[in-house]
């Protein structure tokens, strides 16, 4: 079964509901941060193959997304991480839920949502849509990536080769 509208979908609907409530009452948004991802319940993490993640959409897309470029606005500054550098430069600890050790990284181009969400670019100082994972996930993916195990390149001439 797929995500059935979680991403994208529920995140955008929830964002617009909050933005409309704030602007509808005469307020404005100065900081927008949205963090989402596939975190299984901690008691279910042992059966995730060491990843601490349950795939609810294309595993290839989940793993290849870490190779994307990222753009966001933070404290009034435009930030960019070049393609292939996300895990080395973009991971930060997140303290979103008490008792959960999580980390996150920017997800693609967050800046395009300033206009899409109807936010005032002059008043907005932070705009980031990010991916949340359990602590350690990004380091594991970085290692797999450096070992070229996340490559999407077709491998030719592997006959007779083994992992051992």
75 is catalytic: no
d(CA 55, CA 37): 10
Cα-based angle 156, 60, 43 (whole degrees, multiple of 5): 130
Main-chain dihedrals φ then ψ at residue 105, nearest 5 degrees: -150, 150
Higher pLDDT among residues 21 and 62, named by residue: 21
Residues 6+ apart with CB under 8 A from 12: none
In this predicted structure, what is the pLDDT of residue 1? Answer: 40
Condensed to tens digits (0 to 9), the pLDDT of residues 11-50 reads: 888 899 999 999 999 999 999 999 887 776 666 655 556 6
In the CATH scheme, what is the code of domain 6-146?
3.30.360.10
What are the residue ranges spanned by the domains of the chain?
6-146
In this predicted structure, what is the pLDDT of residue 85? Answer: 92
Indicate whether 89 pLDDT > 50.
yes
Indicate whether 78 pLDDT > 80.
yes
Q: Which of 7, 11, 75, 109 does the annotation list as catalytic?
A: 7
């Amino acid at each position: 079964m797929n995500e059935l509208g979680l991403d994208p979908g529920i995140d955008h609907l929830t964002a617009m509901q909050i933005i409309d409530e704030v602007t509808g009452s005469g307020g404005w948004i100065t900081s927008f941060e949205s963090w989402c991802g596939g975190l299984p319940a901690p008691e279910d993490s042992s059966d995730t193959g060491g990843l601490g993640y349950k795939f609810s959409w294309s595993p290839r897309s989940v793993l290849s997304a870490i190779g994307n470029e990222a753009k966001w606005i933070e404290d009034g500054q435009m930030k960019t991480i070049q393609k292939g550098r996300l895990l080395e430069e973009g991971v930060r600890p997140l303290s979103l839920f008490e008792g959960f050790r999580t980390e996150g990284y920017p997800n693609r181009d967050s800046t395009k949502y300033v206009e899409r969400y109807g936010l005032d670019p002059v008043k907005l100082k932070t705009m980031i849509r990010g991916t949340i994972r359990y602590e350690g996930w990004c380091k594991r993916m970085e290692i797999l990536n450096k070992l070229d195990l996340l490559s999407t390149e077709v491998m030719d001439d592997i006959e007779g080769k083994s992992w051992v």
